[in-house]
C-alpha cells in the first residue's frame, strides 16, 4: 500500500465504494493498477495510479500492481522494468509482489474449458475478415457463425488442439456465445482466445494461444479478490461483458467503475502517438524531457510530490476534459519554490567590466539558499572586476517599462553592489559585446546608505570563477493546445519547432561545479532547473524544468 497519498478530495468513486461497504456488498477494498507493458507510463497513468492507490489507502485496503501482459507481440520486459521504476518513483508501494495476468493463463484456460462445457463458448473457424463481416454494423445486427453450434465435445477437442499448437495463427478462435444481435458490439460473441505463435516475455513458448483483454481482465481481478476495478471511460461498453463472464463462471465479482482519462493541453497522451514520437526520432526517447511520460517528467525535473498534488487537484469525474498545462506547472512551481535552492546562472552571458573595481581583487558575499526555508542557510559567492550579466538584462534603447540595465542606468547586483552602465563596447557589426560599468562601494551588500532606490536587481556571475555549462531550454512539445484535434492533418504538424534550445557556454556560480544528475535548483529570475544525467564531472548539463512566472515577459508580449 501507499504512504504517498495526499488529502485527495472526495469523488464519485469514493462514494460508490462507501455505499458498497455500507451495504455489505464487499467487506474490504482491493483495487489494482493494471498497465500493459507495451510502453512507458505517462501523466495520464499517474492519475490512475494516484486514484487506485489513493482509494486503497483511504479505505484501508490494498492496491495491486498488475501487468496486463496478454499480448506477447507488443509487450516487453524493458517496459515492465520502467513501469515498476515509475510507480515506485511516484511514491507508491505495491507490497509483496507484482501481479501478472500471465500467471493466470492456466486458470484462464480452465475457465474457458468450463464455458465450453456449459455451452457458453465455441471454437470458430471463421477468418478475421469473416468474423468482422459477420459482426454486422453499429445499426445492423450481426449473423451467427456457421460454427456456432458445434457440439461441446468437438469444441473441447478443437480448443485443446489450439493449445497444443496444431493450428497456425488466425486459423481458429475461441468465442463466447452471447448474442449476435446485441446493440452492444462487445456482446456479439466476443473472441476469448486467439492463436499467437509468439514468445511471451515471461511464459516463453509455453503458450501459443492467448486470452483477449475481455477474458483476462475481469478474471484476473476476480483471482486477486479485487473489489473495485477502476478503469477509463472507453471500457464502459465492456462492463456488461465483464459482468457476463464473472456470472457465467460463478466467480468473485468485482465492480467495474469508469472515469474520464486525463487529457492535458499542448500534449498528446496516447501510447501510440508517444511511441511514434520516439520511433520517428521526434524526441530523444521515452524519457525526453519534453515527453509527458513519467520518466520524461522526472528527467525534466518534476517532483513526484508535484505530480501527486496535480492528480489530487484535477479531480475524478466522468466528463471528458482537458486540463490546462498551467495547472501542472503551478503545482510544480509551488513545490519547487519551497524546496529548490537558489543559485545564480547566466544563460546568455554579456561581459561586464567594473571600471572602478580594483583589478585582481575578489570578495565574497553570502547568498541566501532559499528565502522560503531559513534552515537552508547561505553560501559564499565570489565577486570580482569582470562579471557576466544576462544579455536580456541590458537594452541600449529600452522601452518605457524596461527597468533593468541601460546606458546611464543604475541597478543592483544581487547581494553585491549597485552598478551604473557608463559605456557600451560593440564589435564591427555593431553588436554589443561588453559593458563598462562603475560600482558604488557604499552600496556593498545591496543597499544604498543614502536611501536611493533602483528598479531592478540582477543576477550575475564572476567571470573568473564561473563554471561553464550546457543548459537545455525546454518548452511545450506542441504549439497547439489540442494537437489531437487541431483540424485536418497529423498531430505532428503541430510540433513546436522551438521546444528545445540548447545553450552552451552558460556561466554558473562556482558552487554548481559539483552538481549531480537529478539536483534541482532555481536559477534566480530564470526558472527551475535540474541537472541532467548527461552531466559529467565538472561539466554540468542542466535542463530547464519550468520558468518562473514572468510579468516582464508577459508585458513585453502584450506590447508586441
Partner RNA sequence: UGGGGCGUCGACAAGCGGUAAGUCACCGGAUUUUGAUUCCGGCAUUCGGAGGUUCGAAUCCUCCCGCCCCAGCCA
For RNA, the binding residue among 47, 150, 217, 253 (CB under 7 A) is 217
261 catalytic, yes or no? Answer: yes
CA angle 117/123/126 to nearest 5° reads 160
Closest CA to 380 of 336, 344, 351, 337: 344
- Three-class SS of 200-220: ECCCECCCCEEECHHHHHHHH
**Footprint (CB under 7 A) of RNA, residues 470-509:** none
Binding part of the chain for RNA, among 105-113, 325-333, 423-431, 534-542 by CB under 7 A, reads: 325-333
The residue with cell 471454437 is: 123
Q: Which residues within the stretch 424-463 sit at the binding site for RNA (CB under 7 A)?
A: 445-447, 456-457
CA distance 33 to 486: 32
Q: Please indicate whether residue 334 is annotated as part of the active site.
A: no
Q: Is 555 in the site for RNA (CB under 7 A)?
A: yes
Taking CB under 7 A as the rule, does residue 169 contact RNA?
yes
Q: How far is the CB of 295 from RNA (least distance, A)?
A: 19
551 binds RNA (CB under 7 A): yes
Residue 336: helix, strand or coil by DSSP? Answer: helix
Q: Does 549 bind RNA (CB under 7 A)?
A: yes
Does residue 15 interact with RNA by CB under 7 A? Answer: yes
What are the residues facing 351 on neighbouring strands?
Answer: 388, 434
Based on CB atoms, which residue is closest to RNA, 19 or 539? 19
CB-based contact 458:414 (threshold 8 Å): yes
Query: What residues between 338 and 357 interact with RNA by CB under 7 A?
Result: 342
Question: Nearer Cβ to RNA, position 66 or 290?
Answer: 66
Which run of H or of E encompasses 296? helix 294-300
Distance of CA 44 to the CA centre of its chain: 7
Among 524, 530, 531, 542, the residue binding RNA under the rule CB under 7 A is: 524
CA 121, 126, 131, 135 dihedral sign is negative
Question: DSSP letter at 363?
Answer: E
Q: What angle do CA 299, 375, 465 make, to 5 degrees?
A: 65
Nearest CB to RNA, comparing residues 78 and 237? 237
Query: Binding of RNA at residue 81 (CB under 7 A)?
Result: no
Q: Which range of residues in 40-48, 292-300, 409-417, 464-472 is near RNA by CB under 7 A?
A: 409-417
From 14, 261, 351, 444, active-site residue: 261
Per-residue binding string, RNA, 119-138, x by CB under 7 A, is -------xxx--xx--x-xx
Contacting residue, 177, 200, 228, 333, with RNA by CB under 7 A: 333
Q: Do residues 386 and 471 lie in contact, with contact meaning Cβ atoms separated by under 8 Å?
A: no
Short-list 113, 208, 119, CA closest to 167: 208
170 binding RNA? (CB under 7 A): yes
Nearer to RNA by Cβ, of 25 and 132: the residue is 132
322 binds RNA (CB under 7 A): yes
Size of the site for RNA (CB under 7 A): 90
What residues act catalytically?
Answer: 36, 261, 271
Amino acid at each position: 500500500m501507499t504512504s504517498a497519498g495526499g488529502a485527495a478530495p472526495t469523488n464519485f468513486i469514493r462514494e460508490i465504494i462507501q455505499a458498497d461497504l455500507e451495504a455489505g456488498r464487499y467487506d474490504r477494498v482491493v483495487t489494482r493498477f493494471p498497465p500493459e507493458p507495451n510502453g512507458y507510463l505517462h501523466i495520464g497513468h499517474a492519475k490512475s495510479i494516484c486514484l487506485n492507490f489513493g482509494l486503497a489507502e483511504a479505505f484501508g485496503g490494498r492496491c495491486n500492481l498488475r501487468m496486463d501482459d496478454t499480448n506477447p507481440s507488443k509487450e516487453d520486459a524493458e517496459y515492465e522494468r520502467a513501469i515498476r521504476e515509475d510507480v515506485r518513483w511516484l511514491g507508491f508501494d505495491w507490497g509483496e509482489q507484482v501481479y501478472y495476468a500471465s500467471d493466470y493463463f492456466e486458470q484462464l484456460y480452465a475457465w474457458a474449458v468450463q464455458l465450453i462445457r456449459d455451452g457458453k463458448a465455441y471454437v470458430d473457424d471463421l477468418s478475421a475478415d469473416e468474423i468482422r463481416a459477420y459482426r454486422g454494423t453499429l445499426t445492423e445486427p450481426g449473423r451467427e457463425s456457421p460454427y456456432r453450434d458445434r457440439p461441446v465435445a468437438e469444441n473441447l477437442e478443437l480448443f485443446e488442439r489450439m493449445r497444443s499448437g496444431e493450428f497456425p495463427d488466425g486459423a481458429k478462435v475461441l468465442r463466447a456465445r452471447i448474442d449476435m444481435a446485441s446493440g452492444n458490439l462487445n456482446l456479439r460473441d466476443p473472441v476469448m482466445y486467439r492463436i499467437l505463435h509468439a514468445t511471451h516475455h515471461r511464459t516463453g513458448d509455453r503458450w501459443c494461444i492467448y486470452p483477449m483483454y475481455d477474458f483476462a481482465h475481469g478474471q484476473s481481478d476476480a483471482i486477486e479478490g479485487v473489489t473495485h476495478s477502476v478503469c477509463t471511460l472507453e471500457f464502459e461498453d465492456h462492463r456488461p461483458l465483464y459482468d457476463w463472464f464473472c456470472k457465467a463462471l460463478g466467480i468473485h465479482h468485482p465492480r467495474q467503475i469508469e472515469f474520464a482519462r486525463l487529457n492535458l493541453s499542448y500534449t498528446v497522451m496516447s501510447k501510440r502517438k508517444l511511441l511514434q514520437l520516439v520511433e520517428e526520432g521526434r524526441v530523444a526517447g521515452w524519457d525526453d524531457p519534453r515527453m509527458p511520460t513519467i520518466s520524461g517528467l522526472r528527467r525534466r525535473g518534476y517532483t513526484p510530490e508535484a505530480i501527486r498534488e496535480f492528480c489530487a487537484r484535477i479531480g475524478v469525474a466522468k466528463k471528458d476534459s482537458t486540463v490546462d498545462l498551467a495547472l501542472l506547472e503551478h503545482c510544480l512551481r509551488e513545490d519547487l519554490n519551497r524546496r529548490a535552492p537558489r543559485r545564480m546562472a547566466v544563460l546568455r552571458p554579456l561581459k561586464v567590466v567594473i571600471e572602478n573595481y580594483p583589478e585582481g581583487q575578489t570578495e565574497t558575499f553570502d547568498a541566501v539558499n532559499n528565502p522560503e526555508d531559513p534552515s537552508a542557510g547561505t553560501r559564499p559567492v565570489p565577486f570580482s572586476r569582470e562579471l557576466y550579466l544576462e544579455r536580456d538584462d541590458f537594452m541600449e534603447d529600452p522601452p518605457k517599462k524596461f527597468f533593468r540595465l541601460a546606458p546611464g542606468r543604475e541597478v543592483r547586483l544581487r547581494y553585491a553592489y549597485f552598478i551604473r552602465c557608463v559605456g557600451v563596447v560593440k564589435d564591427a557589426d555593431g553588436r554589443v559585446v561588453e559593458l563598462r560599468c562603475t560600482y558604488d562601494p557604499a552600496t556593498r551588500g545591496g543597499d544604498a546608505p543614502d536611501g536611493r532606490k533602483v528598479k531592478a536587481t540582477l543576477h550575475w556571475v564572476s567571470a573568473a570563477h564561473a563554471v561553464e555549462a550546457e543548459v537545455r531550454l525546454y518548452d511545450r512539445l506542441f504549439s497547439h493546445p489540442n494537437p489531437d484535434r487541431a483540424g485536418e492533418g497529423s498531430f505532428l504538424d503541430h510540433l513546436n519547432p522551438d521546444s528545445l534550445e540548447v545553450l552552451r557556454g552558460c556561466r554558473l556560480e562556482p558552487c554548481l561545479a559539483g552538481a549531480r544528475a537529478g539536483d534541482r535548483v532555481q536559477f534566480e529570475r530564470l526558472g527551475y532547473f535540474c541537472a541532467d544525467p548527461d552531466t559529467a564531472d565538472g561539466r554540468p548539463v542542466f535542463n530547464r524544468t519550468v520558468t518562473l512566472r514572468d510579468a516582464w515577459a508577459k508585458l513585453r508580449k502584450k506590447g508586441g
